[in-house]
A and B are shown apart, each in its own frame.
Chain A
């Protein structure tokens, strides 16, 4: 992935407007953001300020109303839907608040899902899954179903699934939002290690100052704009 001056994510003058009937909701207005490769960025802000919306724009899950979104030189805002899904498969790892594992699949099958989109052989996929589950410390639970695991363990499976394809950037939307303090800390330590030891670029949405303290930088979203200090 080509980066100039080490900037991986470049969001420029982005507006995002939602329409609910005749009503227009301006969620993001002229927003600018740059994230350097290898950075662990925490994104904070009040509920409804548009944190998930911004994360979706970076991950190519939604489109900006105006402005440009560039990831590693790729203009995400200009890609077709079809091109975007291929691009996501290669470059984006997603971690959700509610884990969003498929309940019918075991941990290893869940982690294998994104690899099904690659050309890897069955044996290679198995190897990758093993490594990813090992990195999150779940080598002993590969055959368990999500309902047989605690929230913290499910989230670790979620992280293994997000990193198994070795994506360019990891996007986490309140990854500890549904966990108790201890499990949450374990997840944060894991993300921190991924950033520090493996050079992963991470953007993490959180409400928790304790969580943002683990990040290398924190930005605050309020009234459609980003601030480097907490404005509230």
Chain B
């Protein structure tokens, strides 16, 4: 402890350099946090996908629809316990950049299949009682400052409402939350019966089915049975686990995400290298001073400790403050909510970040420290003479 003052004085020896080094490490770890959040956002749907859910879609493409009559046939297949269909509505709220997913669903089946969503009982009843009723996730509710009871108008570029051009009116009757952190609560769901009655064409057709199965271990088998059921029909199906389905979906923006994260990764490591080098440099400049300390009787271990304490302080100050800051920032701010509905830093990324801070402190210190340790005193003292 009595050596901490020496460490402190060395840190404050060149305040500007120390400050800039700490700041650059801080920035690096803010980037790191964002990177983690973006990566999670792009694969988030996948990792929270239910293992006991399959998605049945048209064999050719997700855009092509399936008949509503398939529902009964799917539910007759052994191993299937429940199914619920969804269709892509593509609703636009005021402006196309206000994107969020909107879909007609069957309320009861939907809520029972997506049991990670919680909706207060009164709101559930209200939804069942109101044909124009709709529920929305907490994220989108907060994003637009909606309240239950609001009347929401959405335009759909796909589905014309015969009565009033392309604008559909909904009554917001409920807001759902997710039990599990990382679940997407940006979706807007309304009643299929209202939709089917209102749409001008393709009545009786739905986008895809989400199927709950009894035993996730038998997912492949059940999927095969479903696809076999509709083989050689006009609408052949492709059934896959929900995770794979979500992944295919995310692939479209995923590539862009990959580019973003690889750039951020490069920037992150570059900053760390520069910071590490600066830290090492500041120790190298003090070779004679370290030589004097050793001549005085400071042991190699003590010199090592003093140098490492210094580099850990810099790395820790920049790194931990940076991680804390980005964690707080991400929990209140999302740069592109329309594309990244789920935005948070996963715990494992925080843990890895924590370890990276320690590794940085260690590596930036250990090289000059071990040099300082091995330094022959006579040599160090000769440098000046």
Give the B-binding residues of A (Cβ under 8 A). 52-53, 56, 59, 61-62, 81-82, 85-90, 92, 94, 96-98, 100, 102-105, 109, 113-114, 116-117, 122, 161
Q: Give per-residue flags for B286-305: 1 if the beta carbon is below 8 A from chain A beta carbons, else 0.
A: 00110011111111111000
Question: Which stretch in B1-9, B318-326, B331-339 binds the other chain?
Answer: B1-9
Please, how many angstroms separate the alpha-carbon atoms of A138 and B189 in the complex? Answer: 83
Contact A105 B299 (CB under 8 A): no
Please, how many angstroms separate the alpha-carbon atoms of A89 and B295 in the complex? Answer: 8
Q: Give per-residue flags for B31-45: 1 if the beta carbon is below 8 A from chain A beta carbons, else 0.
A: 000000000000000
Partner of B3, one of A116, A122, A161: A116
Q: Is B378 an interface residue (CB 8 A)?
A: yes
Contact B299 A100 (CB under 8 A): no
Contact B385 A100 (CB under 8 A): no
* Known A62-B376, A82-B299, A96-B381: A104·B9 in contact at CB below 8 Å: yes
- Using Cβ atoms and an 8 Å threshold, which residues of chain B touch A52? 378, 382, 385
* Known A61-B378, A98-B384: A113·B9 in contact at CB below 8 Å: no
**7 closest Cβ pairs, A-B complex:** A89-B297, A104-B9, A62-B378, A88-B297, A85-B299, A61-B377, A100-B292
* Known A56-B378, A62-B376: A104·B297 in contact at CB below 8 Å: no
- Using Cβ atoms and an 8 Å threshold, which residues of chain A touch B143? none
Please, how many angstroms separate the alpha-carbon atoms of A161 and B12 in the complex? Answer: 23
For the residues of B in contact with A, the DSSP-based class is helix
Partner of B385, one of A81, A87, A98, A114: A98
11 A-B pairs, CB-CB below 8 angstroms?
Answer: A52-B385, A62-B376, A85-B299, A87-B297, A94-B295, A100-B288, A100-B381, A103-B13, A113-B293, A117-B296, A161-B296
Contact B6 A105 (CB under 8 A): yes
Please, how many angstroms separate the alpha-carbon atoms of A104 and B299 in the complex? Answer: 21
Contact B377 A62 (CB under 8 A): yes
Contact B298 A85 (CB under 8 A): yes
Q: Is B10 an interface residue (CB 8 A)?
A: yes
Instruction: List the count of A-B residue pairs having beta carbons below 8 Å apart.
Output: 74
Contact B296 A104 (CB under 8 A): no
User: How far, in Å, is B292 (CB) from chain A's closest CB?
Assistant: 5
Please, how many angstroms separate the alpha-carbon atoms of A127 and B381 in the complex? Answer: 30
Contact A88 B385 (CB under 8 A): no
In the complex, which range does the number of interface residues on chain B fall in? 20 to 34
Partner of A61, one of B2, B5, B6, B381: B381
Given contacts A85-B298, A102-B292, 14 further A-B pairs with CB under 8 A are: A56-B381, A61-B378, A62-B377, A82-B300, A86-B297, A86-B299, A87-B297, A88-B297, A97-B385, A98-B384, A100-B292, A116-B2, A116-B6, A117-B297
- Using Cβ atoms and an 8 Å threshold, which residues of chain A touch B385? 52, 97-98
Contact A85 B297 (CB under 8 A): yes
Contact A88 B376 (CB under 8 A): no
Nearest B residue to A93 by beta-carbon distance? B296
- Using Cβ atoms and an 8 Å threshold, which residues of chain B touch A92? 297
Within 8 A of A (CB), among B332-385: 376-378, 381-382, 384-385
Partner of A122, one of B2, B298, B299, B378: B2
- Using Cβ atoms and an 8 Å threshold, which residues of chain A touch B9? 102, 104-105, 109
User: How far, in Å, is A186 (CB) from chain B's closest CB?
Assistant: 23
Nearest B residue to A171 by beta-carbon distance? B295
Please, how many angstroms separate the alpha-carbon atoms of A222 and B218 in the complex? Answer: 93
* Known A62-B377, A62-B378: A113·B296 in contact at CB below 8 Å: yes
Partner of B300, one of A85, A89, A109, A114: A85
- Using Cβ atoms and an 8 Å threshold, which residues of chain A touch B300? 81-82, 85
Nearest B residue to A106 by beta-carbon distance? B9
Contact A94 B296 (CB under 8 A): yes
User: How far, in Å, is A102 (CB) from chain B's closest CB?
Assistant: 6
Please, how many angstroms separate the alpha-carbon atoms of A87 and B3 in the complex? Answer: 20
- Using Cβ atoms and an 8 Å threshold, which residues of chain A touch B384? 98, 100
